[in-house]
């Protein structure tokens, strides 16, 4: 079909999966190389890497890097964040590592849109913020453990802290006054934003139009095929502006509409070059994915493209779980073949498979040996220190 036609180009689910896997760099080994620089390259390509506190196996940000960088070491992320300063932490759809080169696209949120989370900070007093900032200016970067003179207060929501200073630091973080200069586990070191990056003056914040362009480019690069839902994940207010931008690009033939098999009325778009050529079947690599992996966390999209309905059951009562407390999807080539509920026993030096659930259409017998081989490699990464 000619790309000048108004009718969307039909894509089978198989072809759509291959385009997405290629965009996620899950169809080749070590796509970003194998040294410390690979961590920066991975964040820049994916756009963000989610951070989460759950620690039954290695935390999700390290897990996501390991999936795409087989030689990844935790020290590589420390170098990128604290030494090279090529990545920083901020909120995307969740708290994430983001490329420092993209920081200006977040400055408007830091100055204006942090109020969306203001319910978290209703009890924070201006004097609390001034107090912690004065400490940092005088004494340098600090962690919450460095503050031992707080008068504890009652929590006002589930994720709140009893320390007023911690709430004040978090508010200063969302406002862009301080940044996380180092992270050890979940312990964060806070530093003044300008001092951490060595600015004489901060970058100019991007305009709303520039931010919309950035959001669309990020989605096209990391997803290959995009919808308004996938590009604006948990950011519904941006959808009208993004639709106008997409329609303008379609008129200029920079994007083409595509109809993904089984998507019904859900519209998708892609760059013409993403559809060029015959995509070969993905190499039958095995990836044990974090439930927060960018291939997995948009559950409706995963179901559409892979026919797999992931369940994150850490907060589901035990008797109602199907896959287990911390189920990790297993990608074998182009198929999500299983979900493994994993737990690291760090004292005994073992990775425990608490539940193994087959979910794919392929033969479990043909996949089991290769998944077990990957589990052995994954265990070595999990327990390495």
What CATH number should be reported for the domain holding residue 152? 1.10.10
Contact 5, 299 (CB under 8 A): no
Domain boundary among 142, 172, 195: 195
The rounded percent of the chain whose pLDDT value lies above 70 is 90
At 90-131, the pLDDT tens digits run: 999 999 999 999 999 999 999 886 666 566 777 788 888 999
341 occurs within a structural domain: yes
Point out which residues pair with 335 in neighbouring strands.
Answer: 332
Q: Which of 51-60, 223-232, 355-364 has the lowest mean pLDDT?
A: 355-364
In the prediction, which pLDDT does 116 show? 64
Q: Is 57 left (phi over 0), alpha (psi -120 to 50) or beta?
A: beta
331 occurs within a structural domain: yes
In the prediction, which pLDDT does 3 show? 43
Strands (E), the chain: 9-11, 49-50, 87-91, 95-99, 178-184, 187-192, 225-226, 256-260, 268-270, 286-288, 327-332, 335-345, 350-358
pLDDT band at 361 (very low <50, low <70, confident <90, very high): confident
- At 359 the three-state DSSP class reads coil
User: For residue 230, which of 307, 301, 296 has the smallest C-alpha distance?
Assistant: 301
Domain boundary among 178, 195, 212: 195
Print burial letters for 129-162: b (CB count within 10 Å at least 16), e (below 16). bebbbebbeeeebbebeebeebeeeeeeeeebbe
Strands 350-358 and 256-260, by their bridges, are unpaired
The answer to whether residue 268 scores a pLDDT higher than 60 is yes
54: tokens are 């759950």
At 52-81, the pLDDT tens digits run: 999 999 999 999 999 999 999 999 999 999
176 occurs within a structural domain: yes
324 occurs within a structural domain: yes
- At 367 the three-state DSSP class reads helix
343 occurs within a structural domain: yes
At 137-150, the pLDDT tens digits run: 999 999 999 987 65
User: For residue 244, which of 209, 198, 201 has the smallest C-alpha distance?
Assistant: 209
Task: Count up the domains in the chain and report the number.
Answer: 2
pLDDT band at 2 (very low <50, low <70, confident <90, very high): very low
CA distance readout (Å), 321 to 68, 146, 318, 326, 341: 29, 40, 5, 10, 11
Domain that holds residue 358: 286-383
The answer to whether the predicted template modeling score (pTM) of the entire model surpasses 0.85 is yes
In the prediction, which pLDDT does 184 show? 92
Higher pLDDT, 160 or 361: 361
The answer to whether residue 156 scores a pLDDT higher than 80 is no
310 occurs within a structural domain: yes
Domain boundary among 149, 173, 195: 195
In the prediction, which pLDDT does 165 show? 86
d(CA 19, CA 273): 11
Mean pLDDT, rounded, for 224-235: 97
In the prediction, which pLDDT does 282 show? 60
In the prediction, which pLDDT does 334 show? 93
């Amino acid at each position: 079909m000619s790309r000048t036609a108004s009718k969307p180009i039909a894509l089978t689910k198989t072809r759509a999966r291959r385009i997405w896997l290629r965009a996620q760099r899950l169809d080749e080994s070590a796509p970003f190389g194998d040294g410390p620089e690979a961590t920066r390259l991975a964040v820049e390509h994916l756009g963000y890497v989610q951070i989460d506190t759950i620690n039954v196996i290695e935390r999700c940000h390290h897990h996501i890097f390991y999936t795409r960088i087989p030689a990844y070491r935790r020290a590589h992320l420390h170098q990128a964040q604290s030494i090279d300063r090529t990545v920083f932490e901020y909120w995307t759809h969740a708290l994430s590592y983001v490329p420092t080169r993209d920081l200006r696209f977040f400055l408007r949120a830091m100055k204006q849109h942090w109020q969306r989370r203001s319910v978290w900070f209703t009890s924070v007093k201006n004097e609390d913020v001034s107090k912690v900032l004065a400490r940092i200016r005088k004494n340098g970067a600090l962690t919450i453990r460095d503050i031992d003179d707080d008068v504890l207060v009652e929590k006002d929501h589930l994720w709140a802290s009893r320390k007023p200073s911690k709430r004040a630091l978090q508010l200063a973080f969302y406002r862009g006054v301080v940044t996380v200069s180092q992270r050890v586990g979940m312990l964060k070191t806070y530093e003044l934003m300008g001092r951490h990056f060595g600015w004489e003056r901060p970058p100019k914040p991007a305009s709303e139009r520039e931010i919309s362009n950035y959001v669309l480019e990020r989605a096209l690069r990391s997803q290959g095929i995009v919808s308004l839902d996938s590009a604006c994940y948990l950011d519904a207010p941006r959808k009208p502006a993004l639709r106008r931008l997409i329609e303008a690009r379609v008129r200029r033939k920079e994007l083409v509409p595509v109809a993904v098999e089984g998507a019904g009325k859900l519209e998708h778009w892609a760059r013409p070059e993403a559809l060029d050529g015959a995509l070969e079947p993905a190499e039958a690599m095995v990836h044990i994915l974090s439930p927060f992996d960018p291939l997995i966390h948009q559950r409706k999209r995963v179901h559409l493209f892979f026919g797999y309905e992931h369940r994150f059951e850490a907060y589901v009562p035990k008797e109602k779980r199907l896959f287990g407390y911390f189920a990790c999807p297993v990608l074998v080539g182009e198929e999500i073949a299983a979900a493994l509920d994993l737990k690291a026993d760090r004292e005994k030096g073992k990775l425990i498979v608490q539940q193994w659930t087959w979910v794919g259409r392929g033969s479990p017998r043909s996949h089991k040996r290769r998944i077990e081989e990957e589990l052995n490699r994954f265990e070595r990464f999990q327990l390495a220190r």
